[in-house]
Structure 1
Amino acid sequence: MRDAIEVSRWGARFRGHRLPCAIGRGGITRTKREGDGATPVGSHRIVGMLYRPDRLPAAALPGWAQPIGPRDLWSDDVSDPAYNSRVQAPHGFSHELLRRPDPLYDLILLTDWNFPDTVPGKGSAIFVHRWRKPRHPTAGCVAFAPDDLLWIARNLTPDTRLIVRG
């Protein structure tokens, strides 16, 4: 069986550990749409890892983790040809800052939700990241306590999937 981070509204399980997590404020959905605040059901590949090098040492992460630079953004504008992808400032479309002033995006696991064959409006920036506070809802991502997220990041394999159950 594939290595998996299994998520439901009650929490997560990874490598025999049960971990509290947060999901989207819109719950879990089978019909994800941009801005609905819901976490999409499915088996999502982990396709990348981003981190803040000014807050987290590279040595703490797998070698394939990529640093977040000061101009890094994520497009969430359905009219943007680069919708649901990493872009650079200045960017003339709606976007999220990847280098946030708070610690939520200090470490991000990128999923393949609506990627690489992006459908405008089907949802963007479905990440695994640090939670704001225990179980505080996200905008559609899955979020963990900082220490749990770092442990997950260190224990990923190339086959690890994020499995979200409805």
Structure 2
Amino acid sequence: MKTLLLLCSGLLFASSLQAGTDRRSGWTDARQLVLVTIPEWDSHDGTLHAFDRTDAGWRAARAPTPVSIGRAGAAWGIGLHEPQPGPRKREGDGRSPAGVFALGTAFGYARSARTGLPYAAMEAAHWCIDVADSPLYNRIVDAREVGTAAVAGSTEPMRLDLHAAGDQRYELGFVIEHNAAGEAGAGSCIFAHLWGKPGQPTAGCTAMAPPAMRDLLEWLDASRHPVFVLLPDSEYRRLQASWSLPRLP
């Protein structure tokens, strides 16, 4: 798969988190599926599966790999699925959003990456805004474009290595488009990214080993309308048939 380089500034990249459109047709047309299952709502460890949709149905595209999610488990997010009964994702709750989500831009510290997703190289001025009452809530912005006052209070610099003593978690990852319309307080800055330590839970993202992330990004192809699904085992059993999800062993 060819290397893609996308040089983004200001709100051009931010728009990937705030599309604000109904993309259920993208779910129907999805030809790639990134699936994370967890044992219970409060579990913070899970398994990631990757599937291709063929004329015969879903088939495994990669071997399952362990991942970590939010330290408090999961709760229903805002994505391509209809609202469901159960816990709902809120800002700062330590839960990863459950449901079906479009994949946004891949990002990282390098100038380019091997992926079929659009890619944005992060710099020290890039921040994801997790301040719930900000008009830029749930957007990745460039402080050089929006001003330093606009990123004040945010706890999500996209170059963690430069802001947090060499932290490599955001060296490579991609956006999971939870709460794309930016509903205040409904949760923000949800990514798939690298583990801090193997098995270490996150604040609400999905984390994995670097080789697993590189392999996943090389496989992902935006033209195949990939989606990300995260569900506890009980919800997966309940929804597998009606959501046309693959059967798991």
The TM-score with structure 1 as length reference comes to 0.91
CA contact (8 A) 1:25 1:38 kept: yes
CA contact (8 A) 2:117 2:217 kept: no
- Structure 1: tracts of 5 or more residues without a match: none
Query: Separation in 1 of the partners of 2:154 and 2:217?
Result: 29
> How many angstroms does 1:88 deviate by?
2.4
After superposition, the C-alpha distances for 1:41-86 in whole angstroms (9 at most, x for unaligned) are: 1111111111112xxx625344721100120000000111000001
Amino acid of the structure 1 residue aligned with 2:122:
I
**1:111 maps to which residue?**
176
Matches within 5 A, 1:7-46: 7-9=36-38, 10-14=46-50, 15-30=61-76, 31-46=88-103
**Residue of 191, 211, 218 corresponding to 1:154:** 218
Q: Take 1:63 and 1:156, find their aligned partners in 2: how far apart are those partners?
A: 6
- Structure 2 SS opposite 1:139: coil
Q: Secondary structure at 2:212's aligned position in 1?
A: helix
Highest CA radius of gyration, 1 or 2?
2
Structure 2: distance between partners of 1:63 and 1:44 = 15
Provide the rounded CA distance (Å) in 2 between the counterparts of 1:59 and 1:135. Answer: 24
Which segment is superposed worse, 58-67 or 94-103? 58-67
Structure 2 CA distance, aligned partners of 1:62 and 1:16?
A: 16
C-alpha distance 93-62 of structure 1, shift in aligned 2 (>3 A): same
Cα separation, 2, equivalents of 1:161 and 1:97: 25
Matched, 1:100 2:160: yes
Task: Tell me, in whole angstroms, the C-alpha distance in 1 between the residues paired with 2:123 and 2:35.
Answer: 30
What do residues 99-158 of structure 1 show as CA deviations (whole Å, max 9, x unaligned)?
01211001120111001x110100001100001122210000011100100110111022
- 2:34/2:226 contact within 8 Å kept: yes
RMSD: 1.6
- 1:76 paired residue number: 130
C-alpha contact (below 8 Å) 1:28/1:39 kept by paired residues: yes
- Counterpart of 2:172, as a letter, is L
Instruction: Report the structure, 1 or 2, having the larger helix content.
Output: 2
- The equivalent residue for 1:144 is 208
Tell me which of the two structures has the higher relative contact order, counting C-alpha pairs closer than 8 angstroms and 6 or more residues apart.
1
Contact between 1:80 and 1:93, CA under 8 Å: does it hold in 2? no
Shift in CA distance, 8/63, structure 1 to aligned 2, threshold 3 Å: closer
Q: CA offset at residue 34 of structure 1? A: 0.1
* Superposition pairs of residues 40-79 of structure 1, within 5 angstroms: 40-53=97-110, 58=112, 60-62=114-116, 64-79=118-133
Q: How many residues align?
A: 162
For residue 214 of structure 2, give the secondary structure of its aligned residue in structure 1: helix
State the AA in 2 paired with 1:25.
R
